[in-house]
Chain A
Amino acid sequence: MDRFRRFLVSDHAAGWAFILPSVILIVVFGLIPIVWGLVLSFQKAGLISPEREWVGFENYTRIVSDPKARQAAVNTITYTLLFVPTSILAALFVAHALNRKIALIRFYRLAVFIPVVTSTIATGIMFLWLFDKNFGLANWMLGKIGLGPFGFFEDPDQAMIALVLMTIWGWLGFDTIIYLAALQGVPHELIEAAAIDGASRWSTFWRVTWPMLGPATLLLVVWSTISALQLFDEVFFVTKGGPLGRTSVVVFYVYRLAFEQGLGALSLAGYAAAIAYVLFLVILVLTLAQFWLGRRVIHYQS
């Protein structure tokens, strides 16, 4: 009894009492799903039908011969390859432009940051309207300089590009904030020293500033890649995977398999879970590879 009382007033009891509510929640809604998802991927299961049949690797082998899964993979890779480099390079330039003390700079920063807090649905509504084939402002403005008219989200060849443009608008502020913080961490002495040595602005940037931005760039590459591979909201709401399946990405396909065929026996929850797990492994491997690569080329300030 005495030992128990001593435990109650000890740091062990205090520590566990403090973390327990959070830990229970995170185990139930964070940890168990990871394990359950793996189990589910080896089962033939509807979302709410009680019977679950063990099918081994059948769900995984099925992915290889599923043309829609292949299309989703191609679309996801295309989107990622377009989005990640473009958005990061744009943010680098914009952050460089915003990193100066000139008139109106607070207004310029605000304009770039505002899309960070607009939801994907709100953004989707704005761009559906802006890019409307018949009455959209974009077609009118582009028409003024002799371009178009464009179908944007309704044209199979343009929908992906329109999606990339829309998401860059939404993400630019986020990336820019990261780069701006990193730019402001570059010591003035280094820039001044380079200037004294007669380096041009251009070579000062690439030889001095750019290497110092390594950690920020790595963070953005990793983060943008992960979020690009998980694209869903915009596709679900704006293009519905179309036209002709040209914007059907992996998470969208997973959602349709599990939730859109009805929740009973028609739902392919097991198969969908298998695809989700493959995506998870791809993300994990890519992230580790990016960090490994980053370690080798990036200069970290001590």
Chain B
Amino acid sequence: MSAFFHSPLAGPELLGLFGHFLVLSLLAVGGAITTAPDMHRYVVAEHHWITNAQFSASIAIAQAAPGPNVLFVAVIGWNVAGPIGALVTMCGTLLPSTALTLTASRWGARRRETRGLRAFTTGLTPLTIGLLVATGWLLAMPYLGDGGVHAIGAIALVAVSIVVMTRTRLSPMWLVGLGAVVGALGWV
């Protein structure tokens, strides 16, 4: 709640925040979350705009909310400097990568059938799939740690989600709802 009582940053500081997120945007290969350590360095360790706990909570809130995980960037901005801060960090994060993605995908679309681009996508597809499994693995690990009844509940939820998603065309929403109920009952 302290965000509401924070005095928003001065102009030059907001500009610095914007510039930092602009640069990080272009370094975010593999997703925005890969630059979280450097965001932490900037807003927590270097400038003391928010606390460690606020930083972690920002990521947790964005993970729990519907929508892309990149919204954690907006939550960090909000905690640093209110709504203006959210605008500054989101625009900084999205502008460079959006421009680059559109340019690159148009360039690529004109060369779809060339040998170079085919080799590029053929070569990277297996890495993409390996990376997806790794992401799921890393997301699951925190829930499997304690080895007790909670870990069993979490393993069961992960397993049920995998089976239902691969065997049926049920909307993932139902599984998320099941997870919420099972978790609220204290089994995860």
Is this pair of chains taken from one and the same complex? no
